[in-house]
Chain A
Amino acid sequence: MEHVNTKEMNLYLIRLGEISLKRLNRNFFEKKLKNNIKLKIHPYRSLLTREKGRFYLYVSKDCPEEIVIKTLKTTFGVVGFSKALVCEKDWPVIVENAKALIENEPFADDTGSFKVECRRGDKSFFMNSYQIEAELGGVVLDRYPDMKVKVKDPQKELRIEIRDKAYMYTSPVPGPGGLPVGTAGKGLLLLSGGIDSPVAGWRIAKRGLKQDCLYFHAYPYTSDMALQKVKDLARIIAPYNQGTNLIVVNFTECELWIKDHSKEDEHTLMMRACMMKVANMIAKARDCRVLVTGEALGQVASQTLESMCFTNSMSDIPVLRPLVAMDKEEIISTARQIGTFETSILPYDDCCVIFSPKHPLVRPEVDMEQKSFSDMNIDELLAKCVAEAQEFEISYHV
């Protein structure tokens, strides 16, 4: 840490949750997290060191604070973070720094209770801990008169350590938690324009799975606005996922083929079977070891247990369904939290009504549907879809 010119850099303390419990492979997780954070802050200079189960993140002062905060709020593995200031042990300077620090989260919302906690390692400092706490408490109250002092279990804390220098930081702003993206390998997310699939991708990214995204476009039956909406959704979840690649498959010919070569009540099932086949081919070509979908048990006809058994039978690789046991309300609440909800509900349908049967098959039998699928003779078209797929790279930048 000595070689860092801290004067030119802002300091943040990062708290790590589950990672600190790891033993032999802790290094692997920590290294990934460091890289994930540095990558997002790049091209600004940053440096990460580890001490007592925390990360110390130094970021060059020309990097806008907003970027650091957004980075830490969208990087899985970060449980919480706080901005820290280091200054000379000169009381007026300490007060100025304290004032600057409380302009940030979590103090900036001007509500709730707080306390100031001081540790005076350097006993030669002219004020004792109690005096420092009382004085700085006054500084906070001058700025935020509506806040209340509460010594036991406050909502916010301003902490100061008087050692070789004065170190100040606040109680942590919550990060997203989870495990660093990339530590669990790579998967392929079937992303529609709906509410569920972005949430599914986000939830499984939280367990460290990096994902590429796959969208089935059926122009002119679905509009280019629907495609734009999916790109926007991918852009919203991309920072959490350390960036992603959106693969767009032109599915129009397949949809029309399915419509003409299968029974009406099987259309949706056959369409999903085709999507699984295409996803499998694309996943294998990109080293994705699992598929991820936004299905929730019983939500619609194609998400019954029987339908899921059938679509599973169309995939050679595991299909993860992070939302399988979640209610719509719970899914919507996460969608709001991660900022995808408003985009998801834009009125550009991701499937045209002419491909949706009025009475879809709800409890299909696997063997029978597999036969229906092979009777369609659609393999050649599916291979063509894969060959002609377009790819869009979506940045991890916040």
Chain B
Amino acid sequence: MYYFDWTATSPMGQKALEVYSDVACRYIGNPSSTHPLGSEAKSRLETERAAIASMLGTTSSCIYFTSGGTEGNSIVLSSLLNSPAPGEIITTGIEHAAILEWKKTLESHGWTFTALRCPGGYLDPETLRAALNDKVRMVAFMKVNNVTGTVLDTASLVKVVRDYEKTSGRRIHIHCDAVQALGKIPFFPEKEDFDSASFSAHKFCGPRGVGILYNRNKAVLALSRGGGQEKGLRPGTENLAGICAMNAELAVTLSGLQDRYNEILAFRTKIEETALSAGYSLISPSCKSGLKFSPYIINICAKPIPSEVFLRVMADKGFCLSSGSACSSNSKGKAESVLTVMNIDPASRMSSIRISMGSGTTAEEVQELCLALSAAASELGIKQ
């Protein structure tokens, strides 16, 4: 099988596997235990915290280890429920379910949950400016959209919020879901002036079930109750082997980030050209558009064939692709709702196909994919 679903998850890297088994065997103590094996584990954990802090351009005090992106987002959003009075959270309609699914809970506690429309997959800073008001306590947006690969202009968006703060005199927490950014494009949460950001290891060849929450806001409180680990923000015995494996893999990934980016950009350009000439249309922005996008994700449209049918045809040809994000492809309507907010027409939404690449994608695989896309287009009568 040819794997083109790296946005959903990626295979664990060689480095991560080595470090995982090494640490799992060597550090058998619980970092919270006071005996020598516990202290040893604790000390390794803090070394790792410092290492990841430096990779993210921040300090150890802002790094919390979590189980992944969903938990990081949930810790931040659930903290709103601790506010003395409900207010408003502004986010985008193109967020992952780990953000959007908080709508019901927050609303049931009196919060206003505003999900802004993002035509083409981008949030216009002016739209955000117009939405800001005195009730807003938090603004949350993603860095890279997981369905289309669009990259939001976070610098301008953060500036809009900070400018508003100056006039209103009230602090607004800015959270960023950076799950699809880390390891793909340069991302430094502190430099971008985010108050919090969430990351997930398995998106960059780290193990599943490990993630990072960058947070500098003391008002953010734990979602779980437990033994006080991670300064009480994320109780539960630390997954030391997983954390070390994640960091080791991230170091490898970041060291070759730019070269890899260029290579993937060439692959994406080739896929885009093949798809357009075969009769597909683009849902993601074109390479030639001048818009910001992550080349790791390209979303094309196989009209008039429904995505579900197209995925079966491609699976039979040996390709793993996806329609929306893997988290929602089992539930009808979820992926579409993100595309709806992007103003994609209904017929295109129904035929949307996500092709995503990662560090293991090879030129040969891309070549095979291009041949298969062309063949499928003529077999199924795909036309723009």
A residues with a Cβ closer than 8 A to B are: 219-221, 223, 347, 352-354
Contacts and interface: CB of A to CB of B under 8 A. Distances in A.
A220 B332 contact: no
A223 B312 contact: yes
From B305, B308, B332, name the one whose CB has the most chain A CB atoms within 10 angstroms: B308
A352 B306 contact: yes
Interface in B313-370: 313, 316, 332, 350
Contacts of A347: 332
Contacts of B316: 220
B308 A223 contact: yes
A220 B312 contact: yes
A261 to B, nearest CB: 14
A94 B104 CA distance: 61
Contacts, number: 17
DSSP class of B's interface residues: helix, strand, loop or mixed? helix
A352 B332 contact: no
B279 interface: no
Contacts of B120: none
B29 interface: no
Interface in B283-330: 304-306, 308-309, 312-313, 316
A354 B308 contact: no
Contacts of A354: 304-306, 309
A219 B332 CA distance: 20
Nearest to A354: B304
Contacts of A220: 309, 312-313, 316
Contacts of B306: 352-354
Contact of A219 (B304, B312, B350): B312
From A219, A352, A353, A354, name the one whose CB has the most chain B CB atoms within 10 angstroms: A354
B309 A221 contact: yes
Contacts of B308: 223
Contacts of A352: 306, 309
B309 to A, nearest CB: 5
A54 B306 CA distance: 57
A353 B313 CA distance: 16
Contacts of B313: 220
A27 B309 CA distance: 54
A223 B308 CA distance: 8
From B306, B316, B332, name the one whose CB has the most chain A CB atoms within 10 angstroms: B306
Contacts of B350: 353
A264 to B, nearest CB: 12
16 contacts: A219-B312, A220-B309, A220-B312, A220-B313, A220-B316, A221-B309, A223-B308, A223-B312, A347-B332, A352-B306, A352-B309, A353-B306, A353-B350, A354-B304, A354-B305, A354-B306
Contacts of A353: 306, 350
From A220, A223, A353, A354, name the one whose CB has the most chain B CB atoms within 10 angstroms: A220
Contacts of B309: 220-221, 352, 354
Given A220-B313, A354-B305, 10 more contacts: A220-B309, A220-B312, A220-B316, A223-B308, A223-B312, A347-B332, A352-B309, A354-B304, A354-B306, A354-B309
Contacts of A219: 312
B305 to A, nearest CB: 7
Counting from the closest, the 6 A-B pairs by CB-CB distance are: A220-B312, A220-B313, A221-B309, A220-B309, A354-B304, A353-B306
Nearest to B316: A220
A254 to B, nearest CB: 16
